[in-house]
Structure 1
Amino acid sequence: MHHSSFPRSGEPISKLGFGAMGFAGWFGGNGNDSESSWIDSLLYALDRGVNFVDTARAYGNSERIVGKALGQWSGTRPFVATKVENLSGQRGWGTPVDPELAHPPGHIRAGARRSLTELGLDHVDLLQLHIWWPTWGVTGHWMEELQQLKQEGLVRHIGISIPDHRSDMALPLVQSGLIDSVQTIINIFDPVALDNLLPACVEHDVAVIARCVLDEGGLTGTLTEDTVFAEDDFRYGYFDDIVPRSVYLEKVDELRRYVPQYAGSLAALALKFVVQAPGVTTAISSMQVREFCEANIAALNEPELPAEIHELLRFKHRFIKNFNETKIFGEYR
């Protein structure tokens, strides 16, 4: 397993991170959705060198299941990151949320303590706000609570998760020096964070946690015109509203020219693209299924992409769209 350094502490972080959103059961029933199989997947990943685990208070029972897995793990404790739940009732995609509604005074502290209880830990390595908007500025009760938790040792590092595809919105907070990490969308189709956010994070010693690296599965090459998602799968309708699915699949097919010369699969190509981007600390992928763990770990054991291929992927294959817009603004269509 390849590692990078967490900028503010220098500790080694696996370039592949375990995304535990899948422990919420949001991917629909697929025969692999059981706590025991999820725990097995996490233990498998830890045993093979993955040492970064990302969960959230909003992910159903995810924190509790991660905690059960950690209780069974006898190796070195991994770097555990979680997120403070947004209480506003608004998803936070597309339009700003009032900080007083998202994180009313005392909520961040209460959320952190509940997370610690669910995880069975005395501290978390990284506490992130699941929602933050630049309209909040860089100070306020929310920042004071985060800093106080850090001073008390209940959290080692603090950060934010950018609510949508506009990664540049976090630049003021990154430049303030007040946070230790940023989580944002980065993939072959949407590499915008590489343009401005990542260079700023490198300059200010801020870790970058890349998410949606496989574009919610669209970049794995398994999506077809006939793929049907169950209604309890959060991807239900996801690939069909902003652009016709046929258009999306055409963009995916254009990437097949790089396989197998530069990657063993489309998924490996997508993952290696993100992991190799300068400034990315770790790339998280939902790995609640053990086969996903095996495939992702194998991808990182492949040779790196040549610099010229990485550049081609970054600039030639941009296909920027926000599939979540339909969920937020659908009534206006």
Structure 2
Amino acid sequence: MHTRSLGIDGPLVSEIGFGAWAIGGGWGEHDDRASIEAVHKAIDNGVNFIDTAAGYGDGHSERLIAQVMKERSEDIVVATKTPPADGPWPPSPYCRWQDRYSAAYLRDNIHTRLTNLGTDRLDLLQLHTWTRAWNDDPQPLLVLRQMREEGKIGLIGVSTPEQDQSCVIQLMRDGLVDVVQIIFNLFDQEPAAQILPVAAETGTGVIVRVALDEGALAGKYPADHVFPENDFRHRYFAGDRMARTVQRVEQIQSDMKIFGIQEQYTPADVALKFVLARPEVSTVIAGMRNVQQVEQNTRTSRLKDLPEDLLLQLRRHHWHRGIWYGGKD
């Protein structure tokens, strides 16, 4: 497993990280025993970065991770996230930070994060969403800075809102965040325009999420696939979204055949390698909830990098589809 620096002064982390949303619930039926087994297997395979959040099963994901950490001796970097207080998600331009991320709220929520993870210091605390409306008065991040001085937090980060990922650029340039978590994949390549170059310029760590577009880029779903109603993806791929997505995944698979790599690389490998081709990326958090998924995702780090001419060809799959959540039902 190759490692990369999580920001200019951050720790070395595995370039494939463990995305722990699914083990908290919300992705259909799940088994805690299989989840715990998956986390152990990921660590066995060299993964030393785990990303979770308060909202992943109302802390269930955090508590499962804490259970595993008690049984491991390795140094594992665990990142979690605090959501804003009740209100629209993502925050609207009219939301006040005082109502969504007040100092009292942040301290109380972070205390719960510490308790769930069974630690007295969080390696990385990310605000789970943000709005550009707060950029000129980013008091919530100053509260986190104070908590870092108190020894409660290590690194400070923000997870981008899907509809305005570039809102973190000012935060990076102002030195307010150590890490940003962004969506970057074969379909959504917009971060290459400015977010990634600014991360390099400022020494900001970059965590990439949704690198497999919620599993679609793994190429394992037919056009008529429908997820169960208790699976987050039932809404994500509502209407004709799955059919449209599969059509584009097939075009990526055609590129793989043209370059003759379909025997060595799976579509998931190509999707992950495309993201990892950017040196600004610190780690890619792939969702894993069983040993099979762990084996598939961690093997990618052992494969050779994709050839430059294929990377250039893959840029054509950038898709201006807007935000699924706001699309047709």
Category of TM-score, reference length = shorter chain: over 0.9
Task: Show the counterpart of 1:108.
Answer: 106
Question: Normalized against structure 1, the TM-score is what?
Answer: 0.91
Counterpart among 250, 254, 258 of residue 251 in structure 2: 254
3-state SS of paired residue (2:182)? strand
The CA distance in 2 between the partners of 1:95 and 1:222, in whole Å, is: 38
Pair 1:87–1:206, CA change in 2 (3 A)? same
Mean Cα deviation higher: 131-140 or 55-64 = 131-140
Counterpart among 220, 225, 228 of residue 227 in structure 1: 225
Which one-letter code corresponds to 1:155 in the other structure?
A: I
User: Structure 2 matches for 1:106-145, cutoff 5 A?
Assistant: 106-145=104-143
Pair 1:323–1:143, CA change in 2 (3 A)? same
Instruction: Tell whether the 8 Å contact from 1:185 to 1:211 is kept in structure 2 after alignment.
Output: yes
Pair 1:318–1:213, CA change in 2 (3 A)? same
**Shift in Å at residue 166 of structure 1?**
3.0
Task: Show the counterpart of 1:273.
Answer: 274
The CA distance in 1 between the partners of 2:108 and 2:32, in whole Å, is: 26
The CA distance in 1 between the partners of 2:245 and 2:45, in whole Å, is: 34
**Shift in Å at residue 311 of structure 1?**
2.0
C-alpha distance after superposition, 1:286-311 (max 9, x if no partner): 11121111001112211110122112
Task: Show the counterpart of 1:3.
Answer: 3
**Shift in Å at residue 105 of structure 1?**
2.8
**Shift in Å at residue 313 of structure 1?**
1.1
Instruction: Tell whether the 8 Å contact from 2:224 to 2:242 is kept in structure 1 after alignment.
Output: no
The CA distance in 1 between the partners of 2:217 and 2:127, in whole Å, is: 27
Task: Show the counterpart of 2:62.
Answer: 63
Pair 1:112–1:138, CA change in 2 (3 A)? farther
RMSD (Å), alpha carbons = 1.8
Counterpart among 48, 51, 63 of residue 51 in structure 1: 48
Which one-letter code corresponds to 2:285 in the other structure?
A: I
The CA distance in 2 between the partners of 1:214 and 1:98, in whole Å, is: 33
Mean Cα deviation higher: 299-308 or 211-220 = 299-308
Counterpart among 160, 163, 184 of residue 162 in structure 1: 160
Which one-letter code corresponds to 1:35 in the other structure?
A: D
Task: Show the counterpart of 2:15.
Answer: 15
Q: List runs of 5+ in structure 2 lacking aligned partners.
A: none
3-state SS of paired residue (2:70)? helix
The CA distance in 2 between the partners of 1:204 and 1:110, in whole Å, is: 31
The CA distance in 2 between the partners of 1:95 and 1:216, in whole Å, is: 27
**Shift in Å at residue 91 of structure 1?**
2.0
Task: Show the counterpart of 1:25.
Answer: 25
**Shift in Å at residue 5 of structure 1?**
1.0
C-alpha distance after superposition, 1:130-175 (max 9, x if no partner): 0211110154431221011111111111010001143222111111
Which one-letter code corresponds to 1:290 in the other structure?
A: V
Pair 1:137–1:100, CA change in 2 (3 A)? same
The CA distance in 1 between the partners of 2:16 and 2:318, in whole Å, is: 23
Q: List runs of 5+ in structure 1 lacking aligned partners.
A: none
Question: Normalized against structure 2, the TM-score is what?
Answer: 0.93
3-state SS of paired residue (1:279)? coil
The CA distance in 1 between the partners of 2:124 and 2:107, in whole Å, is: 14
Which one-letter code corresponds to 1:100 in the other structure?
A: Q
**Shift in Å at residue 258 of structure 1?**
3.7
Which one-letter code corresponds to 2:205 in the other structure?
A: A
The CA distance in 2 between the partners of 1:251 and 1:95, in whole Å, is: 33
Instruction: Tell whether the 8 Å contact from 2:92 to 2:131 is kept in structure 1 after alignment.
Output: no
**Shift in Å at residue 185 of structure 1?**
0.3
C-alpha distance after superposition, 1:48-74 (max 9, x if no partner): 110111001111211111111111113
3-state SS of paired residue (1:42)? helix
Pair 1:56–1:138, CA change in 2 (3 A)? farther
**Shift in Å at residue 245 of structure 1?**
3.4
3-state SS of paired residue (2:319)? coil
C-alpha distance after superposition, 1:63-120 (max 9, x if no partner): 111111111113x221110001221232217766432232123111111111111001
**Shift in Å at residue 234 of structure 1?**
0.6
Pair 1:57–1:245, CA change in 2 (3 A)? closer
Number of aligned residue pairs: 322
C-alpha distance after superposition, 1:12-67 (max 9, x if no partner): 111001011012211101xxx22121111011101111011100111121111111
The CA distance in 1 between the partners of 2:170 and 2:62, in whole Å, is: 30
Instruction: Work out whether 1:199 is the aligned partner of 2:200.
Output: no
Instruction: Tell whether the 8 Å contact from 1:209 to 1:283 is kept in structure 2 after alignment.
Output: yes
